[in-house]
Amino acid sequence: MSTNRHPIEQEELMAYLDGELPTDQATEALSHLELCPECQTLVADFRDLSQELMAWEVESPEVGIPSQINAALGERLQKREAAKVSSPRLENRVMTSRWVWVGALAIVCVAVGLKLTLTSRNRNEDRSTAYPSMASIEQYLMLDRNAEIAMARSAAPEAISDDAKILVLGWRGYETAIEGKNGFVCMVERSWMSPFNSAEFWNPKVHVPLCFNPAAARSILPLTIKRTEMVLVGLSKAQMIDSIKAGFDNKELQTPEPGAMCYMMSRAGYLNDALGHYVPHLMFYFPLTDKSSWGADLPDSPVTLNPQFQGGPEPITEFVIPVGKWSDGTAAPVM
Amino acid sequence: MTSDEALMLEFQGGSRAAFEELFARYRKPLYGFFERRLNNPDRAEDLAQETFLAVIRAASRYEPRALVRTYLYGIALKLLAAERRKFLTSSTSGQSAPEPKTDGTPECALWVRQAMEKLDAPEREILMLREYEQLSYSDIAELLRIPVNTVRSRLFRSRLALKSYLESEAKTKPALRASTAQPHPGRRGMQ
């Protein structure tokens, strides 16, 4: 391949495929690719090669945190707590004057009190043990159906959610509360849409209002429906994972349609104990892709890779982009 | 939705849950990192654990200017180098490295592994960091302390060499290559 006929080198084509070219060069590469059968063949070869390398899969045994790591972790956290309480500067001050001694004593009291408060709070918020198994189903249901409809609608601006189909969670799964007109579907997801390894997978406080656009309603919503149905009939996580994998294998489930996204702009949501209401944002769904293709998680990038499906049975990549306003138009906190 | 870097900072601040989340995200990738390079599941498991132990011990030294992913694989590369030195020492003193375990490994995976072994070690490492650890060119350059352009040119050479090797092998084992070319929905390919 000569540079006379091809404005870009083969190596640059490879970098383009890897998402490693600057925008202007990537645009040039794409324009050339559309016209050059020779380069299209090369690109296809590189893609095939990458696909073939994926045949070398490594199955990791399923284990929890080993005792050796747990012990080291406990030791480090204990040392850190101890270091917070005893401060050399404080000890020096204690020796200087009576008044300082009294003041220091007061500080110690406050510090100890604060430590006790934090310890107590941490114990309450210990996400590794707080939600070890499924709570009773009624704890996940919202008794006030109208409240759930309102919360679902709050996921997107009224201009969208007013004409959207609304689903609410019932004893047997999601039910249609209101038929829609615009192809959007709004609902409130529960904790089991978290990653399977999430410590909050069974947190009944989690209420995640969202509005799927039509493409996501067709390709992403079925995942929510399926997980929910499996949870409500009492399947184990392992059974659910197997069933989801089988669902993709037999085409019952599908990867995201082009353009699949959802609105998550409700100030009423509770994503989990760590994030609380979080910030209003949009989510975009793709078949598995490298986060670098969106510049996700890079310094100052507004795009974040959502771990919801990372490492899970669903071959989906999900990007999050915060927006500046809640669905009611009021300003949101800066992330 | 919490980024790795935010979790690491939370862990520095004393959060056990943040560490547990990082462990959940990286245990399998780290195991895969070691297993593909050592072909020894037991050592892969041990070294993945040692990586996390190193993270715990050095948590206070982590600075958020480095991605956690890069930071973890940096530790893993050091442990891997030490492991290889250990085997080198033991083999010169009369002990031999254990035979790679192949029981239960699908034939197509073995085929890819054998093809990888044909590459020069530095080029193979770059290719593996890109394809299996999904690191960017700049991450790889930082870890291996080489220029980004060198990463790119070596990656290109290694892909061409591998492609050529696989094509020549496919002429003798066409059915096998066809089996590796099936899509793997749970894994990332080149985009």
Confidence of residue A308 (pLDDT cuts 50, 70, 90): confident
pLDDT at res. B60: 78
pLDDT at res. A92: 44
Name beta bridge partners: A189. A208
Residue A104 has pLDDT above 50, yes or no: no
Residue A211 has pLDDT above 70, yes or no: yes
The answer to whether the CB of B59 falls within 8 A of the CB of B131 is no
Residue A23 has pLDDT above 50, yes or no: yes
- Cβ–Cβ gap A73/B162 under 8 Å: no
Q: What is the pLDDT of residues A31-75, one digit of tens each?
A: 888 788 888 888 888 888 888 888 888 887 777 788 888 888 888
The answer to whether the CB of A306 falls within 8 A of the CB of A322 is no
pLDDT at res. B49: 94
Collect all residues of chain A within an 8 Å Cβ-Cβ radius of residue B14: 77, 80-81
Alpha-helical (H) ranges within A182-250 are: 214-219, 221-232, 237-249
Residue A161 has pLDDT above 80, yes or no: yes
Minimum distance, in Å, between the CA of residue A151 and any CA atom of chain B: 21
Collect all residues of chain B within an 8 Å Cβ-Cβ radius of residue A307: 1-2, 25
pLDDT at res. A185: 97
DSSP state of B60: G
DSSP state of A309: G
| Token code pair at residue B11 | 């862990």
Minimum distance, in Å, between the CA of residue B97 and any CA atom of chain A: 21
**b/e map of A206-239 (b: 16 or more CB within 10 Å)?**
bbbbbbbbebbbbbbbebbebbbebbbeeeeeee
CA-closest candidate to residue B58, choices B44, B82, B74, B43 = B74
* Least confidently predicted of A151-165, A216-230, A280-294, B97-111: B97-111
Q: In angstroms, rounded to a whole number, what is the distance separating the alpha carbons of residues A28 and A49?
A: 24
Cβ of B175 under 8 Å from any chain A Cβ? no
Q: Is 0.95 exceeded by the ipTM?
A: no
Collect all residues of chain B within an 8 Å Cβ-Cβ radius of residue A68: 49, 53
Collect all residues of chain A within an 8 Å Cβ-Cβ radius of residue B177: 52
pLDDT at res. B88: 75
Which comes out higher in pLDDT, residue A107 or B87? B87
Test mutation, B12, B20, B150, chain A, max A CBs within 10 A = B20
B 80-99 residues with CB below 8 A of A?
Answer: none
Indicate the pTM of the whole model: 0.51
pLDDT at res. A270: 86
What is the three-class DSSP state of B158? helix
Q: What is the pLDDT of residues A315-332, one digit of tens each?
A: 999 999 999 888 988 887
Residue A1 has pLDDT above 60, yes or no: no
The answer to whether the CB of B173 falls within 8 A of the CB of A52 is no
pLDDT at res. A173: 84
Q: Which residues of chain B have pLDDT under 70?
A: 1, 90-106, 173-191
The answer to whether the CB of A218 falls within 8 A of the CB of A257 is yes
